[in-house]
Amino acid sequence: MTLIKSISGIRGTIGGATNDNLTPIDAVKFAAAYGTWLKSYAGKDKLKVVIGRDARLSGEMIQNLVVSTLVGLGIDVIDLGLSTTPTVEIAVPLEKADGGIILTASHNPKQWNALKLLNEKGEFLDAKQGAIILELAEKEDFDFAEVDDLGSISKNDSYIDIHIDEVLNLPLVDKETIRKAGFKVVVDGVNSTGGIAIPALLKELGVEVVELYCDPTGHFPHNPEPLKEHLKDICELVVKEKADFGIVVDPDVDRLAFISNDGEMFGEEYTLVACADYVLEKTKGNTVSNLSSSRALRDITQKHGGTYEAAAVGEVNVVTKMKANNAIIGGEGNGGIIYPESHYGRDSLVGTALFLMLMAEKGGTVAELRASYPSYFMSKKKIQLTPELDVDALLVAMHDKYKNEEVSTIDGVKIDFAENWVHLRKSNTEPIIRIYTEAKSQQEADALADRIIDEIKAIAGI
């Protein structure tokens, strides 16, 4: 299972056999399906699509294939080159484009790549639209343009700077306030495009920057998922440099994690909590995160007089619920900040600026800030899937086992106990079951996760 087709796009490993991996043929087929759908959806003859990529080793190859396929369909392409997911998202409406494609496998290791698909608002497609594209790709019924009607390619490498300007222009971001605070920050850009964008933003805000792995070569120096076990180097460097804190992003810069001044993880879950704390202090309103996110956001929202609601996992689901509930900030507990004042997409540049404003106004250290929030601890584990496992049956069995508890099935199975919770779901991006737990101590969260894993294994007979 190294080629994963879902409503949110296509993701796979480079090399190998067609239809089993993300080969050039699969990239072309899926790009053609998106272009074909877009022509029907937009209902006009001449279309424009924005494309950008992270720094993965396969990025240029996949981009050339995708761009050429769209040109072959008669679609004009604006090529941003090395970019970030949120940068492409803001570029689509600014360019009055009909859609966008980001070539990135987000937090997956270097052998993976993917096509993330956007609509004319620079937002991810919904489930119905994604299903149509999957069907078109399966049928391979494409109608390419005649030679006089081929699309054109225009390059624009200024969009990271434009994105930074957009962040600086947000009403709740004040450059002078941040500059006066005199911050020193270490940045781990995992040798992808965050190494371009985050230091550039910080320097514009008058922050002293210490760069770690900020050369966008695509050779990731550690597992690119911003989890504690992968971040020893930056944790040590923050202490050594006597920095105020550290910033870690994933390869496409939509996930944001902080390292406290003492070299400890601030906690990916608390990225959204901190940014929401700042925004809610200034603007009364509601919040949304997904079912796998910390209860701490609910607590902070209620403290500020707002209402919190949980959505199914997946950015498009969070955005849909945010729009329905008029949420002024939301996102995902994996460090994804969605701030509608900017745009409806996870954005580490926006999150960084909001966090800097919070710290500049509150004073004190990042460790003290973390200690001021409700204390929850999360365990994030997974079970590798094999083809013979019936995952849906496993989830039904776990639901039935705990039917007397508060159980949600809008996305996998979430069991809310009085003092803790567990959320079980199939991943959309990897062949695994994710097991997320949260409790009042790390030991309790880990123990709950291990207990649930043992129960799943017993039911599955593995």
Distance CA(320)–CA(105), nearest Å, equals: 23
Distance CA(444)–CA(378), nearest Å, equals: 9
Left (φ > 0), alpha (ψ -120 to 50) or beta: where does 168 sit? alpha
Instruction: Count each helix (H run) and each strand (E run) in the chain, helices first.
Output: 15, 20
* Rg of the chain taking only CA atoms, in angstroms: 22
Query: How does DSSP assign 273-323, residue by residue?
Result: HHHHHHHHHHS--EEEEETTS-THHHHHHHHTT--EEEE-SSHHHHHHHHH
106 is catalytic: yes
Query: How does DSSP assign 104-159, residue by residue?
Result: --TTS-TTEEEEEEE-TTS-B--HHHHHHHHHHHHHT---PPPGGG---EEE---H
Distance CA(227)–CA(266), nearest Å, equals: 11
Q: Quickly tell me which residue has 């040590």 as its tokens.
A: 236
Catalytic residue among 8, 58, 106, 260: 106
Catalytic residues: 106
